[in-house]
Amino acid sequence: MKVAFSRIKLTPKDYIGKPMAGYSRKDPCLGKLDDIYANGVLINHNDKNTNLLLISVDILKLPLSIVEYIKKKLTSKYEILNPDAIVIHATHTHSSFDLTGEFYYLGGMLAFFKGVMFADNKNDRFIVWMVDRIIKMVAKLFKDLQPCKIAIKKKSYNPNLVLNRRWPKRKVLPDLGVIAFKQLDNDTLIGLIINYSCHPTTLSFANNKLSADFPGRVIARIDDLTNNKVKSIYINGPSGDLNPITTSGVDLEKIDKDKTLTYDQRGTYEHTKKIGHIIAEEALKFARSIAESEYFNTMDIDVYARRLLIPQKDAVYLSKVFLSNKVKWLIKKYFLFKVAKFDQKYVTFPFFMEERRHLQKYGKTIVQFIKLTASNDDSYGIITIPGELFEEIGKRLIRTTPTLEKNTFIFQNSQDWIGYLFPLETYITEGGYEPFMCYSPLCGAYIENGTKKLLHKIK
């Protein structure tokens, strides 16, 4: 087995004035707190000449159209790469550039609506430049491959870093996962894949400066602690409803009575650094605690994929939030979506990919399971999810995997972004703004069921 880590800067020279994604801001990018990057790791199984390529990008979201464009460019240059064995992940920082058009026009909700309908993703030139940079990074990965051994481990970890914004009193214990690589003939760490669950929103809607948010500080802290000798890549777990704790405080009873305390937090760059540093220090400590007997010189890599079509329709129900939900959905379906065009390919990089069947529109997306099997037949799994997965669905999926729960990770916002992925019962009983930010309120249910079918088939 061989591995290589690399990263490449994605901050363009003309970053001032570019629209930023994640909030409906009144101003574009006005400065820089830190640079944004693409981080990559290439894992090669020598015996079968199998490659698994993971790329994490400091961007709010990467829809299927952009992901397919990246893969098309990579596989045309490196025929050895299997498109399904290339995982493209967006860290979901809310302080990076808008690539999908919704946030192009400045202002409030009306500007957001205008962006959905008319922006035509005016950052295409940056997207093409970004992909060229990613291709350059992957070339370095192939060049830097070195023999290694691998260990995979996770544990629950939350020292007052994260809360559930919908249910603050709920005890949140996200998994901190590490996939550690060491040099084959000694105990020297090469690099880490770090998996944790928290929205990268330590910087509030008041921020207008470019930043990778806390995932960027995780990687920078690993660099500092190891004198740049241990490389790292950060990939977010299920965190659709998990927010960082910045200015809200940790009195969960108080926050439960007044949820504006978490929704309207005014975090600063000091919070960004604090949370990033805590995660980095614990991940490095955790990796170094893994016993030598838990490392393997080789792992078989098997990649499974299921492509899904999600209908553009609402659920059938009656509840106290029915009217509010229905109004939002009708505005989306018959006003926003009626004007917006999602079915173009590689022209304006639409933020949803659509397919028509029998006069019905469906959103196209993909879920995956990556199985890593060690020489002693221990197996480990990675589930890729195309959106912001609510904590509850993440727990249900982990329980259905063909690998042990303790050996399975979830990589959200990977291969696509089709929206918030919430339980249907949450939508029906509570509503909220999340159903407005997705292709369909049924996305969570379809993604959960589709993923479970894939996992059962593998079993």
Q: What is the predicted pLDDT for the residue at 115? A: 79
Per-residue model confidence as pLDDT tens digits over 46-98: 766 789 999 999 999 999 999 999 999 999 999 999 999 999 999 999 999 99
The amino acid at residue 49 is N
H or E element that contains 155: strand 146-156
Per-residue model confidence as pLDDT tens digits over 229-268: 999 999 999 999 999 999 999 999 999 999 999 999 999 9
Give the whole-angstrom CA distance, residue 179 versus residue 56: 15
Instruction: Taking each helix axis as running N to C, give the angle between helix 391-398 and helix 443-458, from 0 to 180 degrees, rounded to the nearest 10.
Output: 10
Q: What is the predicted pLDDT for the residue at 119? A: 60
The dihedral formed by the CA atoms of 61, 177, 196 and 131, expressed in degrees to the nearest 10 = -20
Give the whole-angstrom CA distance, residue 444 versus residue 181: 34
- Is residue 158 a contact partner of residue 97, using CB atoms and an 8 Å limit? no
Give the whole-angstrom CA distance, residue 265 versus residue 202: 8
Q: What is the predicted pLDDT for the residue at 341? A: 66
Mean pLDDT estimate for the chain: 93
CA contacts within 13 A on the Cβ side of 221: 22
- Is residue 160 a contact partner of residue 171, using CB atoms and an 8 Å limit? no
The CA distances from residue 295 to 153, 265, 403, in Å, are 10, 42, 18
H or E element that contains 22: none
The SS3 of residue 279 is helix
Q: What is the predicted pLDDT for the residue at 346? A: 47
The amino acid at residue 224 is D
Give the whole-angstrom CA distance, residue 412 versus residue 290: 25
Give the whole-angstrom CA distance, residue 426 versus residue 391: 12
Output b/e per residue, 138-172; b: 16+ Cβ within 10 A.
beebbeebeebbbbbbbeebbeebbbbbbbbeeeb
Residue from 367, 328, 354 nearest 458 by CA? 367
Residue segments in the chain with a per-residue pLDDT below the cut of 50? 346
User: Which pTM value belongs to this model?
Assistant: 0.95
